[in-house]
């Protein structure tokens, strides 16, 4: 071997069978570049590695090299041999296999999380609300309104007191079938929220000043009927429980046991404004039924939606929450049965 020859050579002790008799001969196997040379007192055999069949590395099992004539060489497995053969080392294989397991575990975790989020939590939350909802509801009148007032979410209404009481009475009279408590309807200046309506715990409801300015009386009644749909189906409680379930799942996952933290608080606030598309469809359907029962054309709800959409600030986060949480106005209007035309 010349000094400039950089081909590495590995010498391994192995067992050679010639394929004709069952006797295994101890040999020295020299792996040199692309060649294999077997050396023993009575054996000298040379072959190109590319002409041999080589067994796959499998844990600590010995490697077998099979010649074209059926002769075999068996040598112990080793990292040096794998390296000589240009294979990834057993060490690397170990990590590759760990990586595959980790990837599979991650996929399983994501699928489980999606299933829990989409099915398990809503199912359990709805069952709990169906069982205990009415008892819980009775214990919370006005609590959320006071909390939102204190948090500065909005400001006191600028509407005349007489207009407020007239509107309350008008809504309660027009929706007498729903037994609306006038005192449960509150008015607030919604500031950047614009024309907006909120359903709170205990059946309380907030209408913003802008909503009263933008909509005519029947449209106001229609929007209240929609909000009553959220109350009827207990959407706040169902959504709140779903989100608490989600927070709980996160806490379990991340090992954080603190419940009175900003995440839980934020989730609770968001719980009262963000509804799913299914919840909106349920509330619309309830409103259509109630409006018909009250002698008000359901198209007032559709027309009200159009006006609220047109009045909503159009850019970024200042867009009305009512619309960011009430998507697909056209689709909803179609399901309501169309709007009342351009006469309003």
DSSP H/E element including 72? strand 72-75
Buried b / exposed e over 29-41, threshold 16 CB at 10 Å, is bebbeeebbbeee
Q: What are phi and psi of 55, to 5 degrees?
A: -70, 150
Residue number with CB closer to Zn ion (276 or 294) = 276
Q: How far is the CB of 290 from Zn ion (least distance, A)?
A: 14
Binders of Zn ion: how many residues, by CB under 5 A?
A: 1
Q: How far is the CB of 205 from Zn ion (least distance, A)?
A: 11
Q: What are phi and psi of 13, to 5 degrees?
A: -80, 130
Q: How far is the CB of 114 from Zn ion (least distance, A)?
A: 25
Residue number with CB closer to Zn ion (221 or 283) = 283
Closest-approach residue to Zn ion (CB): 283
As a dihedral over the C-alpha atoms of residue 95, residue 99, residue 105, residue 106, rounded to 10 degrees, the angle is 150
Q: How far is the CB of 325 from Zn ion (least distance, A)?
A: 7
What residues between 122 and 181 interact with Zn ion by CB under 5 A? none
What residues between 216 and 235 interact with Zn ion by CB under 5 A? none
Strands 72-75 and 9-17: antiparallel
Q: How far is the CB of 327 from Zn ion (least distance, A)?
A: 10
Residue number with CB closer to Zn ion (163 or 278) = 278
Contacts of 121 (CB under 8 A, 6+ apart): 242, 245, 246, 249
60-99 mask for Zn ion (x: CB under 5 A)?
----------------------------------------
**Distance in angstroms (rounded) separating the CA atoms of residues 239 and 344:** 35
- DSSP bridge partners of 63: 75
Sheet of 197-199: strand order equals: 155-156, 185-189, 205-208, 197-199
**Distance in angstroms (rounded) separating the CA atoms of residues 184 and 109:** 44
Stretch that binds Zn ion, among 27-35, 48-56, 116-124, 275-283 (CB under 5 A): 275-283
245 contacts 124 by C-beta, under 8 angstroms: yes
Residue number with CB closer to Zn ion (12 or 301) = 301
Q: How far is the CB of 178 from Zn ion (least distance, A)?
A: 16
**Distance in angstroms (rounded) separating the CA atoms of residues 316 and 308:** 17
Residue number with CB closer to Zn ion (29 or 228) = 228
Q: How far is the CB of 275 from Zn ion (least distance, A)?
A: 5
Residue number with CB closer to Zn ion (247 or 283) = 283
229-268 mask for Zn ion (x: CB under 5 A)?
----------------------------------------
What residues between 277 and 316 interact with Zn ion by CB under 5 A? 283
Q: How far is the CB of 283 from Zn ion (least distance, A)?
A: 5
Both tokens assigned to 251 = 């806490």
Residue number with CB closer to Zn ion (36 or 301) = 301
Residue number with CB closer to Zn ion (74 or 308) = 308
Residue number with CB closer to Zn ion (63 or 233) = 233
**Distance in angstroms (rounded) separating the CA atoms of residues 78 and 215:** 81
213 contacts 195 by C-beta, under 8 angstroms: yes
Q: How far is the CB of 326 from Zn ion (least distance, A)?
A: 5
**Distance in angstroms (rounded) separating the CA atoms of residues 205 and 43:** 97
Contacting residues toward Zn ion, per CB under 5 A = 283
């Amino acid at each position: 071997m010349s000094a400039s020859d950089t081909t590495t050579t590995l010498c391994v002790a192995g067992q050679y069978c010639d394929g004709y008799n069952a006797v295994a001969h101890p040999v020295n196997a020299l792996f040199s570049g692309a060649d294999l040379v077997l050396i023993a007192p009575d054996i000298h055999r040379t072959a190109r590695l590319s002409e041999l069949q080589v067994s796959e590395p499998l844990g600590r099992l010995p490697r077998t090299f099979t010649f074209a004539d059926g002769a075999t060489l068996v040598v112990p497995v080793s990292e040096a041999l794998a390296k000589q053969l240009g294979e990834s080392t057993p060490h690397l294989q170990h990590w590759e296999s760990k990586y595959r397991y980790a990837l599979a575990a991650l996929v399983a975790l994501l699928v489980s999380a999606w299933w829990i989020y989409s099915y398990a939590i809503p199912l359990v939350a709805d069952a709990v609300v169906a069982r205990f909802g009415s008892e819980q509801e009775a214990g919370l009148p006005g609590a959320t309104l006071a909390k939102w007032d204190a948090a500065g979410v909005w400001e006191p209404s600028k509407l005349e007191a007489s207009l407020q009481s007239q509107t309350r009475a008008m809504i309660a009279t027009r929706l007498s079938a729903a037994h609306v408590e006038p005192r449960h309807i509150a008015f607030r200046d919604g500031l950047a929220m614009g024309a907006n309506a909120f359903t709170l715990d205990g059946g309380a409801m907030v209408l913003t000043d802008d909503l009263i300015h933008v909509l005519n009386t029947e449209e106001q009644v229609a929007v209240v009927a929609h909000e009553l749909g959220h109350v009827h189906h207990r959407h706040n409680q169902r959504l709140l429980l779903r989100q608490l379930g989600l927070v709980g799942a996160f806490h379990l996952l991340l090992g954080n046991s603190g419940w009175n933290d900003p995440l839980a608080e934020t989730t609770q606030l968001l719980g009262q404004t963000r509804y799913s598309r299914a919840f909106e469809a349920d509330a619309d359907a309830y409103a259509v039924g109630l409006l018909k029962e009250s002698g008000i054309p359901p198209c007032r709800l559709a027309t009200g939606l159009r006006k609220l959409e047109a009045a909503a600030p159009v850019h970024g986060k200042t867009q009305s929450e009512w619309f960011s949480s009430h998507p697909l106005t056209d689709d909803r209007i179609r399901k309501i049965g169309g709007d009342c035309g351009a006469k309003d």
